[in-house]
Amino acid sequence: MAKLHQLVRVALLLAIVGCSPTEAEPPPAPERVKIGACFAAGSADPVECRERHLAQAVYVSDEPPGSNTEALAPCRRAQAKFLGQDFNTRLDIRLWVAQDRSSFRCDVVLRTSTRAGLGYQTLTFSLARAFRKGASVDLQACLGAPYDPASDQAYVPCRDPHTARSLIVAPAIGTLEEKFPDDIDERATNACNATADAAGELVNGRTVSAFYPDSASAWATGERTAECWIVAERGLLPAVTARSR
């Protein structure tokens, strides 16, 4: 059975939403930006995705965003289609709102640590449909210690033995329309156990840990998935050597 841990996602969500003009320049006008456009650090102009960049647009709107929560809802749907499967643990959505709030866009960025305190990874390729047939080793999330939602932990290479590894698929535990459920603990437990079992990770010597929105306020951000981590009870998990689902 999965060990349950509650992860309040509100703080993480607000940390990755870039809305203040002091944090970043506003996005280019929507007609200048296409879905799939890549952006280098500190630049509002697209670059070729084969060049060094930090972010890639997955949703562009020329309509006012409403609240941040309302804006993120279509972005979450768009990223799943863009990436080829549900959201990956190392990827964040970053929301950019024009200064006059007339338009917005959402980018995906690849964290180098669990809470993005160590920044984002520089990429030289497109993430379009990168998860359609699983995920390459370089896009998976592994740690040298058990996952701690209260700490910012640097990811370690999954190509090397490691202590903890996030499951690539973050299973759904609800719909956007429903209210915060009373059985959230049971949903997260069952979802992570089922996902681990389907991935062949539910074996002796390993613990499945589930992290999820644990309150009505966290639920209101639009988060509807559980984050599932496999942890070695003794020793290390083996290196990942191939594309995995």
Count of C-beta atoms within a 10 Å radius of residue 194: 15
Number of compact structural domains in the chain: 1
pLDDT, mean of residues 223-243: 90
Take residue 45 and report the two structure tokens written for it: 């102009």
Q: Is residue 245 one of the residues assigned to a domain?
A: no
Q: Is residue 241 one of the residues assigned to a domain?
A: no
**Containing structural domain, residue 162:** 3-232
pLDDT over threshold 50, residue 25: no
Share of the chain residues as helix, strand and coil, in percent rounded to the nearest 5: 20, 25, 55
pLDDT, mean of residues 203-209: 93
Question: Of 1-10, 16-25, 177-186, 205-214, which range is least confident?
Answer: 16-25
The helix (run of H) or strand (run of E) holding residue 164 is strand 164-166
The most confident of 11-15, 75-79, 147-151, by mean pLDDT: 147-151
Q: Is residue 204 one of the residues assigned to a domain?
A: yes
Q: For residue range 72-97, what is the model confidence (pLDDT) as tens digits?
A: 888 888 988 898 876 566 888 888 88
Helix (H, G, I), strand (E, B) or coil at 199: coil
Q: Chain-wide mean pLDDT for the chain?
A: 83
Q: Is residue 240 one of the residues assigned to a domain?
A: no
Take residue 31 and report the two structure tokens written for it: 């007609």
Q: Is residue 217 one of the residues assigned to a domain?
A: yes
Contact 155, 112 (CB under 8 A): yes
d(CA 206, CA 189): 15
Q: For residue range 82-139, what is the model confidence (pLDDT) as tens digits?
A: 988 765 668 888 888 888 888 899 999 999 999 989 999 999 999 998 887 778 888 8
Residue 42 identity (one-letter amino acid): G
Take residue 8 and report the two structure tokens written for it: 């309040």
The radius of gyration computed from the CA coordinates of the chain, to the nearest angstrom, equals 18
pLDDT, mean of residues 16-42: 61
Q: Is residue 209 one of the residues assigned to a domain?
A: yes
